[in-house]
């Protein structure tokens, strides 16, 4: 699993690539969860870009649940972008559609949560 | 004429059982001609089952997990998980209510519905001091449909 982080105005975009399974979920958590801190209101929002994740098991869902609960607790916003069909199916089984908002692309997610960030975002 | 059943077996300590068993089952599914998407589904279930065995059956203590794979009727992959932990029947675990507000959800609870959604046949028995969980997978993908385990 690989990851990279990009900041765009008030939005932090965490992009993950590869498999998120039992063995890589701790690394996924290490990358994602520190960004929950300060994710409050409009000050800072978080997008998890999963467009390059082709496999996610319940261990990965657990990390996302921790992130979602952490944000909810402090009235912050974390959303997901670019779910691959196989990952989307796993989300449906786990009813994660009720936990996190999802968008087809990062640009769509930005437009929904921070128009200011969407205006300066450059696709890479 | 049907192909004879092919059976292979592996075992691992709980400390690395999830990765070991997942790789083992994945290789057998590929050998059986399963499509990549179905191999992923097998891996999802194996990861879930072995993680649950480590946690519930062995209580996160060191233990041994055996996994036997058999190809039956030429195309169905049967996985038999055996452990020597306390009695643990994953099939009888209650279905969690995932349709509740996030504040009322736990961190997990996805494993059982995932297994039920992806497996074609499942059985459990307590054999002496051992748990024996048997899961069977047809080669056809289950995700994207509404089928449930029999």
pLDDT of B20 reads 92
Cβ–Cβ gap A22/B47 under 8 Å: yes
Banded pLDDT at B101 (limits 50, 70, 90): confident
> Which whole number is the average pLDDT over A27-31?
95
Partner-chain residue, chosen from A22, A58, A68, that has the shortest CB–CB distance to B110: A58
CATH class of B6-92+110-137: alpha beta
Cα distance between residue B6 and residue B22, in whole Å = 18
Q: In what order do the strands lie in the sheet with A77-81?
A: A2-8, A11-20, A45-56, A77-81, A102-103
pLDDT of B145 reads 46
Q: Which CATH architecture has domain A2-117?
A: 2-Layer Sandwich (3.30)
Q: Say whether the ipTM exceeds 0.95.
A: no
Cβ–Cβ contact B47 with A under 8 A:
yes
Cα distance between residue A118 and residue A83, in whole Å = 19
Residue A40: CB atoms within 10 A of its CB come to 14
Cβ–Cβ contact B22 with A under 8 A:
yes
Domain layout of chain A by residue ranges: 2-117
Cβ–Cβ gap A93/B51 under 8 Å: no
CB A15 within 8 A of CB A4: yes
Banded pLDDT at B73 (limits 50, 70, 90): confident
pLDDT of B98 reads 83
pLDDT of B146 reads 41
Q: Which residues of A touch B144 (CB under 8 A)?
A: 85, 89
Cβ–Cβ gap A21/B22 under 8 Å: yes
Average pLDDT, chain A: 93
> Which whole number is the average pLDDT over A12-41?
93
pLDDT of B6 reads 59
CA B110 to chain CA mean position, Å: 14
Cβ–Cβ gap A57/B43 under 8 Å: yes
If DSSP codes are grouped into helix, strand and coil, which group holds residue A92? helix
Between strands B121-127 and B64-72, the pairing is unpaired
CB A90 within 8 A of CB B44: yes
Q: Which pair of structure tokens corresponds to residue A57?
A: 């098991």
Residue A24: CB atoms within 10 A of its CB come to 21
Q: Which has more pLDDT, A98 or A87?
A: A87
Cβ–Cβ contact B51 with A under 8 A:
yes
Banded pLDDT at A43 (limits 50, 70, 90): confident
CA atoms within 13 A on the CB side of B131: 23
pLDDT of B10 reads 76
If DSSP codes are grouped into helix, strand and coil, which group holds residue A17? strand
Q: Which has more pLDDT, B2 or A50?
A: A50
pLDDT of A41 reads 86
Percentage of the residues of chain A whose pLDDT score is greater than 90: 78
pLDDT tens sequence across A51-73: 999 999 999 999 999 999 999 88
Domain layout of chain B by residue ranges: 6-92+110-137
Banded pLDDT at B5 (limits 50, 70, 90): low
pLDDT of A108 reads 96
Cβ–Cβ contact A57 with B under 8 A:
yes
Cα distance between residue A75 and residue A45, in whole Å = 10
**pTM of the predicted structure, to 2 decimals:** 0.88
Rg (CA), chain A: 13
Cβ–Cβ contact A75 with B under 8 A:
no
């Amino acid at each position: 699993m690989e990851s990279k982080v990009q900041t765009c105005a008030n939005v932090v975009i965490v992009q993950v690539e590869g498999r998120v399974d039992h063995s890589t979920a701790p690394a996924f958590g290490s990358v994602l969860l520190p960004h929950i801190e300060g994710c409050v209101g409009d000050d800072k929002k978080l997008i998890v870009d999963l467009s390059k994740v082709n496999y996610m098991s319940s261990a990965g869902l657990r990390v996302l649940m921790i992130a979602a609960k952490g944000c909810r607790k402090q009235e912050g916003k974390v959303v997901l972008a670019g779910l691959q069909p196989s990952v989307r199916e796993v989300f449906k089984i786990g009813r994660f559609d009720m936990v996190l908002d999802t968008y087809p692309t990062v640009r769509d997610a930005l437009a929904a949560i921070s128009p200011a960030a969407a205006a300066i975002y450059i696709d890479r | 004429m049907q192909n004879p059943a092919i059976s292979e077996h592996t075992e691992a300590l709980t400390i690395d059982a999830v990765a070991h068993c997942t790789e083992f089952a994945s290789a057998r599914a590929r050998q059986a001609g399963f499509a990549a998407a179905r191999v992923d589904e097998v891996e999802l279930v194996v990861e879930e089952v072995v993680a649950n065995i480590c946690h519930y059956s062995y209580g996160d203590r060191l233990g041994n997990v055996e996994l036997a794979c058999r190809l039956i009727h030429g195309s169905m992959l049967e996985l038999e998980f055996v452990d020597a932990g306390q009695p643990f029947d994953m099939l009888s675990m209650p279905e969690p209510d995932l349709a509740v507000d996030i504040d009322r959800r736990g961190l997990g609870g996805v494993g059982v519905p995932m297994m039920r959604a992806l497996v074609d046949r499942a059985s459990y028995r307590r054999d002496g001091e051992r748990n024996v969980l048997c899961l069977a997978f047809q080669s056809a993908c289950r995700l994207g449909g509404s089928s449930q385990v029999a």
